[in-house]
A and B are shown apart, each in its own frame.
Chain A
Amino acid sequence: MTSPTLWRRALLTLALLVSASFVGVFVLGGGRGDASRASGSTEVASASLTSQDSPTDADELAAGRTLFVENCSSCHGISAEGGVRAPPLLGVGGATVDLWLSSGWMPLAEPAAEPERKPAKFDRAQVLEIVRYVTSLAPTTPGNPGIPFGLEISHADVAEGFSLFALNCAPCHTITGAGDALADGIQAPSLHGVTKTMVWEAIRTGPGNMPRFGPGTISPGQVVDIVGYVVENIQQPVSPGGFSLGGVGPVAEGFVGLFVGVGLTLLAALWVGDRNEPEEDEGHEGHEGPEGGDGHAGDHTGIQHGELAHA
């Protein structure tokens, strides 16, 4: 081995180690105070969430680039510069890219389709690779957050989260997080089946028609509180009263009350009471009864004829 080769190898090894520790700190570490339950958490703490790791080594980005070129570039452009059908992705930040991929909105089912929730096409590792690649294409615009690695919600104040959720989220997503239809075909999706990271990212990036809640309106601690409430009480609501009927409220309760409740009581009434005997023309206003026929087979009402009665 010549010394330039050795030198290059040593540099490469060092670069790898540095990147690995960098990644390791973000993936495994955390608890830098950004997950504090105090609503007064400072911007510094949130900065640790919003800064993204930006490895510069070309090999690191190769996998992400391949995935991007194959799945995204046809609409978003080969360098994410955007196109007729899709916005540019330069500087959008890791959180946006992660959310749109994890939720399955992207890639679209067809180029002209509306984004819809579906199982994510990529696994977590692939998503991170794509995120890494896209965020490397341009510096992230200040204010666009990155993926909140190490998001810790175990200390979330769910009571505060509930209150904030009711004020800011319930008008679109419903107070039980069931989701509902907005105007012009848009939909506020259900909050079931989403991860805590996705909830965080949605609040901070405001995807689609969803408004954007930055640190000035909902502080970092408050976001954690809301995420905690969603994960704990929206996704696993306390339902001691029985089947929760989809959390849709009086609409579903009305159906059950009428069809099951009144329906069962009507069935009971059918059993307890009698049925009508087939009518005779006697004493009946204006309707012709069945022909008489012979005395037995034709006569069914039988109070006077010794036949079956109380049908």
Chain B
Amino acid sequence: MIDPIFNWFDVRLGISGSGRRMVNKIFPDHWSFLIGEIALYSFIVLLGTGIFLTLYFVPSSKIVPYDGSYGPLRGQLVSEAFASTLNLSFAVRGGLLMRQMHHWAANIFVGSIVVHMLRVFFTGAFRKPRELNWIVGSTMLILAIFNGFLGYSLPDDLVSGTGIRISFSIVESIPLIGSYMAFFLFGGNFPGTAIIPRFFILHVLILPAVIVGLLGAHLGMLVRQKHTQFPGKGKTSRNVVGAPLWPNFAAKSGGFMLLVVAVTGFLSAAFQINPIWLYGPYVPYKVSYAVQPDWYMGWLDGALRIMPSWEIVGFGHMVPNVFFPAILLPGITFGVLQAWPFIEARLTHDYADHQILDRPRDKPKRTAFGAAVFAFYFVLFGASATDVLANYLSISLNVVLTSFRFLVILVPLIVYPVAYQICKELQSVPTAGQRKRANVIMRSSEGGYTTVPSEPRPGDVELSLDPLPLDEDVELVPVMAGAPAGGDDGSTGPGGSTGGGSTGGGSTGPGGSSRSQPPPAEDQGARPKGGIFTIPRDYR
């Protein structure tokens, strides 16, 4: 039955010709390459649930009395947007499920974009020739964050409406053009009646269209340039090793998409999100405590809270306080983010093509820098919950806020050297992070004990309990600090010598040390290198 249908299209579109290459395309299969797909599939969930929601949501600020089923709001004057969202939650069959899935999928969407971005950053996949893809991707991050803000503001409830008021003040704070931009965007002074309809069309049409376009470019470049791959046996910069698009990749990715949908469904079953009926409609003179934005805006909220009360006033003009944490900070953030491939190329003088990924530990400076920057934004994100933290930990709010002002500087300064050191430690032990093959202690029939390696599994590294034998020609000489010991090679030195001392196989013996270099003369007898994370190469 399929053949005649396929034939009909093939004759007109020439699928067999060009399709063969597509079908045979190879995709590397590492699990961390699927993180971007989490974002893609949660975006599809957003589109699907979003279409359902647009059928019932009324994007209007017109005030109507609510006459639905939720008692505490009956008869209250609310906007049509709020009333229609209540209607979706209580009256439309499956409406609450769609609303919750939409909101949870949005959280997962932005979360997986961030994790995906971190993966790309720490493995260096943004280097030439993929700088453009990095720029496209980070633009999508900005749009996703912004679209999420627009989306949760649509129901016009008390909590999100407070966020809209803050966003008006932020736009207003831009020097020279701020008040004009705010009035243009909002169609007048706050609150006005234009904001919900405008947010709506931005949220359901304009931004999703731009995101879809960028997504197409993102995936198109990926297909054209082919995916990067981790170093491994048989993997070079001239090939791609993995599974073909058809049928392997299609099945696994299709299944993965369904699993992402299932996770969204699970969250919608178990956890309530954005219960706007408990918040009530937005009214400009009412406010609630413990109002934070959704988590991906948390770093902005935290920055607003911990920013000292500085303001620049002079010559009849003012640069208001919120400009610095809410315009300048994100401007610098996203500017540096977009430009990072070029910044790093300049700093490392590395303008070559890269098709093989780095292990994060192999680029300790980049990894440490990325970790420190991430820690900075993480502390800002934590700072958005100052009041909630003060409440739950029973600490004074003032103390919490002041602490965050220090933490936001101190934590990144601590994270950088710690991450750097961890990378260095992991580098010195080649089997770090790999699954060790266990030894099983067996009792023989004679009553003695032997160790037997357990069943090998892929990726196992042998870790023998036998100490490595000494080289015959090595003389053990008691060493004193500074006294050169003669003639030994690196195999007697405990600690992480840089020769990559593997613990592979008890029988490797001298072979194990053939690659290591003797430590420089002045190091012999000195304290072993390495630190708290080092696994000694032998057990002496």
Residues of A bordering B, CB below 8 Å: 158-159, 161-163, 166-167, 170-176, 178-185, 187-188, 229, 232-233, 237-245, 247-251, 253-258, 260-262, 264-266, 268-280, 282-294, 297-298, 300-304, 308-311
Contacts and interface: CB of A to CB of B under 8 A. Distances in A.
Interface stretch (B187-195, B210-218, B228-236, B329-337): B228-236
A181 B295 contact: no
Interface string B37-69: 110001000000000000000000000000000
Given A286-B362, A293-B512, A273 B398 contact: no
14 contacts: A159-B76, A170-B286, A241-B100, A244-B275, A262-B38, A264-B263, A279-B230, A279-B430, A282-B233, A282-B234, A289-B500, A293-B505, A297-B505, A300-B460
Interface string B280-300: 100101111111111100100
Q: Which of A253, A256, A285 neighbours the largest number of chain B CB atoms within 10 Å of its CB?
A: A253
B431 A290 contact: yes
Nearest to B502: A290
B478 interface: no
Contact of A288 (B259, B283, B499): B499
A297 B390 contact: no
B272 A283 contact: no
B447 interface: no
A232 to B, nearest CB: 8
B24 interface: no
B461 interface: yes
A301 B291 CA distance: 52
A253 B294 contact: yes
B506 to A, nearest CB: 9
A181 B108 contact: no
Interface stretch (B28-36, B219-227, B307-315, B526-534): B28-36
Nearest to B238: A283
Contacts of A162: 72-73, 76, 280
Given A175-B159, A248-B290, A303 B391 contact: no
A238 B256 contact: no
B508 interface: yes
Nearest to B427: A287
B142 interface: no
Contacts of B280: 162-163, 166, 175
Contacts of B508: 291-294, 298
A271 B259 CA distance: 11
B247 interface: no
B279 interface: yes
Contact of B231 (A158, A256, A284, A311): A284
A247 B458 contact: no
A173 B280 CA distance: 15
A271 B273 CA distance: 28
A183 B431 CA distance: 52
Nearest to A257: B107
A308 to B, nearest CB: 4
A266 B35 CA distance: 7
Nearest to A275: B459
Contact of B271 (A245, A265, A276): A245
B75 A251 contact: no
Contacts of A265: 38, 42, 108, 112, 259-260, 263
Nearest to A279: B231
B71 interface: yes
Given A182-B397, A187-B391, A284-B356, A269 B38 contact: yes
A172 B233 contact: no
Contacts of A261: 104, 107-108, 111, 263-264, 267
B504 A297 contact: yes
A249 B458 contact: no
A166 B283 contact: yes
Contact of A171 (B72, B270, B272, B287): B287
Given A243-B271, A272-B31, A166 B458 contact: no
B338 interface: no
A23 to B, nearest CB: 36
Contacts of B400: 181
B427 to A, nearest CB: 8
Contact of B504 (A178, A238, A239, A290): A290
B396 interface: yes
Nearest to B499: A288
* 6 nearest A-B pairs in the assembled complex, by CB-CB distance: A254-B295, A273-B31, A257-B107, A241-B272, A301-B233, A311-B459
Given A159-B71, A288-B499, A293-B504, A257 B111 contact: yes
A182 B401 CA distance: 12
A231 B218 CA distance: 53
